[in-house]
Chains A and B, each alone.
Chain A
Amino acid sequence: MSSQPNARRQVYLDHSATTPVRPEVLAAMLPYFAGKFGNASSVHSWGYEAREAINDAREKVASLIEAAPNEILFTSGGTESDNLAIRGVARARKSKGNHLITSQIEHHAVLHTFEALQKEGFDVTFVPCDKYGLIDPDGVRKAIRKDTILISVMHGQNEVGTIEPVKEIGAIAREHGVLFHTDAVQSVGKVPINVNDMNIDLLTLSSHKIYGPKGVGALYVKRGVRLTPQLTGGAHERRMRAGTENVPGIVGFGEACRLAKAELPEESRRLTKLRDKLIEGILRQIPDVILNGHPVLRLPHNVNVSIKYLEGESILLNLDRMGVAASSGSACTSGSLEPSHVLLAMGLTHETAHGSLRFALGMSNTEEDIDYVLEVLPPIVEKLRAMSPIGPGSGL
């Protein structure tokens, strides 16, 4: 890339934003663009071919989370799945109650959906987290009222990587006859998920976070759970999601799920090792750095640190010039004037939140990549801190 004159290596560490499509996935998809182009609803061989491909993919997606194939609805991605789960349940169960529970640290696809429902007249409780970004199941229990109809708490926190106690929260929900949804976009394929063991009624998945194509995702809906469809039209996806199926996308997503399941135990171990090497290296080599998120209950691919006295974007620009892709929860990168709502909910000061950096590891990363980051990051921090008017390095 032309803006990386000093890069001796290309190190992509933003796999929580998106991942490349794996070659095996791309190969599986290609026949379904032009050759096998049929509409799965059609009553002829072209249609049957597409229908079979979708059924096959549905089995693979279901298998990754130990669900039954008919409990999987294909959607356009994580955001649509979250919307369908939350709005769909809220509307279907409106006569049963008006109260919804979620957490303060959800992805915006969940958070803003609840905020929209709040404007429509639903009561929403946003439960807090602790300093590690962990949601206390007991806090959720205490928030439950007689009119609570839905609880939604994410599985793997997308910014700080904390793995939430969804199994416990699911058990509490079930005990109270409340439906439980979890956004598992960041944890699917990274940690084992069994929707039955974990007491989950609805679960959001996304394809492009696990080396599948963008524009496709799924919602697991436990058998018997009723939803009000949010897209009306034809009878696709068991009348729950109208619209001609994105056959190539669905086929790619299915293949990505199959590969993720086969490789999960080993890849998870490998990523955890790289993750800990990067965390330890940063904490050892750079003074005044804190680890954000839980040290142990953590997604295998997530590293999130705050580099004190610096603002995240200025570090990202320097890293990019050295060929390293990462992200930050600073205001400048969040697209608003406030830094990440997740870091603030965890009790970080604005200043420390502005200096957050997330490295999200993936399939392509090696030990050499981590060594390279640990080589280029400290001088960047040193240079920027020398420029900063705050902190011990400023001499002020």
Chain B
Amino acid sequence: MYNDKVMDHFFNPRNVGEVENPDGVGQVGNPICGDMMRITLKIKDNRIEDIKFRTFGCGAAIATSSMVTELVKGLTLEEALEVSNKHVAEALGGLPPQKLHCSNLAADAVRAAIKDYYEKQGIGTDIEIDEDHHHDRGHEEEENIAHNE
């Protein structure tokens, strides 16, 4: 079902855990949906110096979490905000279609953590995190499939 790269990130996840005294914390999804990700950041000179994740979820949820930490580590915050869920899936060499919407929210968790950092610093920000968007979109898709039957 998953390609080798996804399996590698799932079985050997990078940057698992919590950074000490994080400068930003982001949490998206919830256990009810079956996916929840928590990202903690250490930020120095506007760059992501350290990043760790904790994830409750399926293989794709864990692999995308691991991949996003590799993608954004060392980037400036502006650069990190440009990384999307789609980029994460591409970096993993693709995900099964049913996983693209439901378990692919790692980039959102990073954005949420950066938003938290800005807020703690008193820096104004227009970052929007729609924590439930993946879930709603999934339902729409499900209904569309049902209509086609």
Contact = CB atoms under 8 A, between A and B. Distances in A.
Interface in B96-130: 98-99, 102-103
B34 A387 contact: no
B86 interface: no
B37 interface: yes
A159 B7 CA distance: 27
A86 to B, nearest CB: 18
A39 B38 CA distance: 63
Interface stretch (A7-15, A293-301, A335-343): A335-343
Contacts, number: 80
Contacts of A354: 31, 34
Q: Interface SS of chain B: helix, strand, loop or mixed?
A: mixed
B142 A389 contact: no
A390 B102 CA distance: 19
A394 interface: yes
A53 to B, nearest CB: 38
A165 B35 CA distance: 37
Contacts of A286: none
Contacts of A317: 2, 7, 10-11, 59
Interface stretch (A129-137, A144-152, A190-198, A308-316): A308-316
Contacts of B37: 389
Given A321-B11, A337-B135, A394-B54, A387 B62 contact: yes
Nearest to B16: A387
B139 A387 contact: no
Contacts of B102: 331-332, 337
Contacts of B7: 3, 317
B133 to A, nearest CB: 13
Contacts of A339: 34
B61 interface: yes
A311 B142 contact: no
A281 to B, nearest CB: 25
Contacts of A314: 10, 57-59, 61-62
A330 interface: yes
A391 to B, nearest CB: 8
B18 to A, nearest CB: 8
Residue in A330, A335, A389 with the greatest tally of chain B CB atoms within 10 Å? A389
A51 B120 CA distance: 81
Interface bin, chain A: 20 to 34
A226 interface: no
Contacts of B2: 317
A388 interface: yes
B32 A350 contact: yes
Contact of A311 (B18, B35, B135, B139): B35
Contacts of A309: 56
Interface in A341-396: 349-351, 354, 386-390, 394-396
A318 B34 CA distance: 17
A350 to B, nearest CB: 4
A4 to B, nearest CB: 12
Contact of B98 (A318, A335, A394): A335
Interface in B19-69: 27, 31-38, 54-62
Interface of B: 2, 7, 10-11, 13, 16, 18, 27, 31-38, 54-62, 98-99, 102-103, 135, 138-139, 142
24 contacts: A311-B57, A311-B61, A313-B58, A313-B59, A314-B59, A314-B61, A321-B11, A330-B34, A331-B33, A332-B57, A332-B59, A332-B103, A335-B98, A337-B142, A350-B32, A350-B33, A351-B32, A388-B55, A389-B27, A389-B37, A389-B38, A389-B54, A389-B55, A395-B18
Please list the 4 inter-chain residue pairs (A to B) with the smallest Cβ-Cβ separation, ordered nearest first: A389-B54, A313-B58, A332-B58, A389-B38
